[in-house]
Amino acid sequence: MKVDREYFYELIDKIPEEKLPELRMVLLKMAIPEVDPTPEEIEAIQRGLEEVARGEIYSYEEVFGETRKRDKEDDE
């Protein structure tokens, strides 16, 4: 049996609609390579976690509230 993209297209067509979200997760896991974070990224993550532990957090509204207000005013 020849296994090529056409084979998988036909197979996917046979999958029930309700199972497609599961298939999406499997395909994404296979298609997106796992990449280890760089030392700089690890350090940035650690700094962020430390900020959260100290309570240095901001809500979505605090960060984007003024921008959203301006965007709404511009739309009017």
21 lies in a domain?
Answer: no
pLDDT digits 0-9 by tens, 25-74? 999 989 988 889 999 999 999 999 999 999 999 998 888 887 766 766 67
Count the domains in the chain: 1
Please give the structure tokens belonging to residue 69. Answer: 């207000």
Average pLDDT value for residue range 10-32: 93
Range of the domain at 53: 39-75
Residue bearing tokens 């309700």: 18
Is residue 66 included in any domain, yes or no? yes
pTM equals 0.43
Determine, yes or no, domain membership for 16.
no
C-beta separation of 57 from 51 below 8 A:
yes
How is residue 3 written in tokens?
């296994």
* Residue 76 clears pLDDT 70, i.e. is over it: no
46 in a structural domain: yes
Burial 8-30 (b: 16+ CB within 10 A, else e): eeeeeeeeeeeeeeeeeeeeeee
Q: Where are the beta strands (DSSP E) in the chain?
A: none
Q: Does the residue 28 lie in any domain?
A: no
Does residue 29 form part of some domain?
no
